[in-house]
Structures are given as structure tokens and as C-alpha cells.
Amino acid sequence: MKIETIELRRVHMPLVRPFRTSFGTSTEREVTVVRVITADAEGWAECAADAHPLYSSEFLDASDLVIRDHLVPRLQALGDRLSAELVATALEPVKGHMMSKAVLETAILDAQLKTTGVSFGSHLGAVRDTVPAGVSVGIMDSISELLDAVAGYLAEGYLRIKLKIEPGWDVEPVRAVREKFGPDLLLQVDANTAYTLADARHLALLDPFDLLLMEQPMKEDDILGHANLAKLIKTPICLDESIESARDAATAITLGACSIINVKPARVGGYLEARRIHDVAAAHGVPVWCGGMLETGIGRAANVALAALPNFVLPGDTSASSRYFDQDLTAPFELENGHLRVPTGPGIGVEVLPDVLASVTASTDSIRF
């Protein structure tokens, strides 16, 4: 495949409501949208990095720089031999920057699949036409506000509720939601690394609420700590930020650090490595689910395709477009009986709305091949 141009477009997407985690509060989603232009197709992807290095060490300004100055030149060196399957190997000498690598691989894969008329789902190995949708509920100012929000999401049809937690906002919010909505509600929590092993006794107070899982309670590099925590609490531990590769997944599973994995393609370098993590987990009998990074319809389309693989057996954070945006960059993803439909068109299977994209674009940088 011969690339003619790679376009980096910075966009600002207002959120329908503030989204608060243990890292801070977001009121908009700032994204670098990447378009890969070839003679035969256009490939689209979005960089999942935040504007500030709080969720991870990556952030958008640094991502744009490393893409332009370090990653793209390595792809240019491949010439006409370039394909999505060669991207990870070509970029491996550049340490880290997995989200920057992921957005390039994904846009190239989108263009490649559009050229051959194959959908993301078919290429990755999807086995379902729809995937169950969960929703992530941020930290709120009061229990009553939280209960109203959860009631609203359940009324919309979401099949699973995830509560963001942090010290001071954990046991009581979970208790309130469980008591209000009953034992049949699929409920889990996400700590985003906010605790330490010293908090094990406190985290064990969540055990009576029959949670699906506790996501990433401690620092991402504390695999042994998670393995020790798993021995002290009954709630299954799910790792998110700790898993950046199939090798990480195998290590964490072998050490007993997790019994569930949240697969975020952007965090692991792209959808091809995400599929490898899925396969490693399946071989060990460990279920996975697809996490989210407040994606627009561009990223959501590829995530939904990934979530249709056989070992994605838990509802993911693949929410409808309306969860985050009044106007998406693509036709909106909408709930159908608590599920999202897997796109079947070539590549990611959705079309970017040019007028909408133009209206939220702050800057554009084109790199000629």
C-alpha cells in the first residue's frame, strides 16, 4: 500500500455532561483524528491520549510530535511494502507511545481493509452481529445525583453499570446503587489506580455487594501488589492500565494478579495486539471486555468490532454516542435492546461527517509521503 498523505486533525468535542474520575474532571474530549490517504482509499482513526498526562504518560501534544517526527519517518522507510501488519515492527525501536502507534496502525488498517472490501469485524474474527453495552458513571457530587444518573442509564437500556471510585467515594455509593437497583444489576467499579495494598481491608468492604469486578485498584506497575490483593478480597480483580501487551497479560494471569482483563486497543498499540491479548486470555480461561476512552464514532466503530470476538463475554464500555456527545463525528451509535450493532461496511464501517468534523476542528497538519 502506498500512502500519499497522513493528516493530523485536532478536534474539540464537548461532552454532554462533565465526566469525573480519580484523575480529574473532563468537560470536552480533545482528540487528534488521523486520516491516511492512499490512491485507493482513506483510513481514519483517533488518538486516545488525553490533553494532559494524567491517565497515562502520553498526551496529545507529545503524541502529535512523536507521530510527525519519529513514527511517520519509519513508516516512510518501508515504501510500497507498508501494511498494517508491519507497522508495529517498524515502530518498535521507538520506546513507548503506544497510543500514537495505535492510531497510525488503525488508520492504515482501515484504509487497507477498505481497499479489499473487508470489515474490521471480519478481519479481527468477530462472531456476533451486536455487542452488549455497559456505561461508565463518573464520580458525582452526591449519592442522590448518582442514583438519578444510574436510573437514567438503566432506562435507556444499558445492561451493565460501572461506577468510578476513589478514596472517600467507594463503599457508600456502591451500597446505595446496589440497594436501590437490586441484586440482579450487573455492577462493577473502576478505581483508576487510586488505592494501594494498604487499603486492602477497606476494599474488602466492597465484597458483600457482589460486584462483577474491581478494575485497576492500584498503580499500573504494581502487578505483584494486585496478586497479593487478589488473595485478600473476594471481588474479582480486573487489570486495565497494567496491560500493555499480550506478554503483560500472560504475566499478570500467571502471577494471579487478575482474573479478568479490560482490553483497550489504544493502550496496547492497536487492534492487532488487542486481538493477541484476547487470544492469550482465552487460552488461559480468562474473560475480557472492551474498555473505552470517550471515543467518537471513529474509535467506537472499531471498538465495537473488537468486542464481537468470542472471548469478549462481559459488557464493555462501548456506550451509545449520546452518552458523551450531542453530535458525533459519524452517524450515531444507538442502543438496540441494550446492544450496539457491529458495523459491516469495509474498514471501520462508518463514514466521517465532513461538515461536523470541520466545525470542531481547531488545527490540521498534513504530512506528505
Q: Residue 176 falls within a domain, yes or no?
A: yes
Note the pLDDT of residue 23. Answer: 77
Question: Hey, which residues does 260 pair with through a beta bridge?
Answer: 238
Q: Residue 290 falls within a domain, yes or no?
A: yes
One domain, residues 312 and 357:
no
| Annotation marks residue 264 as catalytic | yes
Q: Residue 346 falls within a domain, yes or no?
A: no
Q: Residue 87 falls within a domain, yes or no?
A: yes
Amino acid at position 139, single letter: I
One domain, residues 43 and 77:
yes
Calpha distance 283→304 (Å, rounded): 22
One domain, residues 75 and 134:
no
One domain, residues 157 and 231:
yes
Picking from 232, 165, 153, 223, the residue whose alpha carbon sits closest to that of residue 194 is 165
Please report, for the domain that includes residue 221, its CATH number. Answer: 3.20.20.120
Count of alpha carbons within 13 Å of 153, Cβ hemisphere only? 28
Please report, for the domain that includes residue 97, its CATH number. Answer: 3.30.390.10
Note the pLDDT of residue 1. Answer: 84
Distance of CA 107 to the CA centre of its chain: 16
Question: Given 164, 180, 219, 234, which residue is catalytic?
Answer: 164
Pseudo-torsion of CA 326, 328, 334, 338, nearest 10°? Answer: -80
Note the pLDDT of residue 110. Answer: 98
Question: Given 101, 114, 162, 264, which residue is catalytic?
Answer: 264
Cβ neighbours for 146, distance < 8 A, ≥ 6 positions apart: 137, 140, 163, 173, 176, 177
Tens digit of pLDDT at every position of the chain (369 positions)? 899 999 999 999 999 988 888 777 889 999 999 999 999 999 999 999 999 998 889 999 999 999 999 999 999 999 989 999 999 999 999 999 999 999 999 999 999 999 999 999 999 999 999 999 999 999 999 999 999 999 999 999 999 999 999 999 999 999 999 999 999 999 999 999 999 999 999 999 999 999 999 999 999 999 999 999 999 999 999 999 999 999 999 999 999 999 999 999 999 999 999 999 999 999 999 999 999 999 999 999 999 999 999 999 999 999 999 999 999 999 999 999 999 999 999 999 999 999 999 999 999 999 998
| Annotation marks residue 164 as catalytic | yes
One domain, residues 250 and 171:
yes
One domain, residues 95 and 143:
no
Calpha distance 258→369 (Å, rounded): 43
Q: Residue 289 falls within a domain, yes or no?
A: yes
One domain, residues 153 and 239:
yes
Helix (H) or strand (E) holding 306: helix 297-306
Residue 266 sits at the vertex; the CA angle it makes with 323 and 199, to the nearest 5 degrees, is 75
Note the pLDDT of residue 22. Answer: 76
One domain, residues 153 and 8:
no
Dmax over Cα atoms in the chain, in whole Å? Answer: 60
What is the total count of domains within the chain?
A: 2
Check residue 311 and report its DSSP letter: T
Strand order in the sheet with 134-137: 134-137, 160-164, 186-190, 214-215, 237-239, 260-263, 288-290
Q: Residue 235 falls within a domain, yes or no?
A: yes
One domain, residues 183 and 215:
yes
Q: Containing domain of residue 34, as a range?
A: 3-117+351-368
86 — phi, psi (to 5°)?
-95, -5
Residue 285 sits at the vertex; the CA angle it makes with 283 and 288, to the nearest 5 degrees, is 95
One domain, residues 100 and 161:
no
Q: Residue 263 falls within a domain, yes or no?
A: yes
One domain, residues 275 and 150:
yes
Q: Residue 104 falls within a domain, yes or no?
A: yes
Picking from 257, 294, 290, 258, the residue whose alpha carbon sits closest to that of residue 274 is 290
Q: State the first-to-last Cα distance of the chain, in angstroms, to the nearest integer.
A: 12
- The structure's pTM equals 0.95
One domain, residues 71 and 136:
no
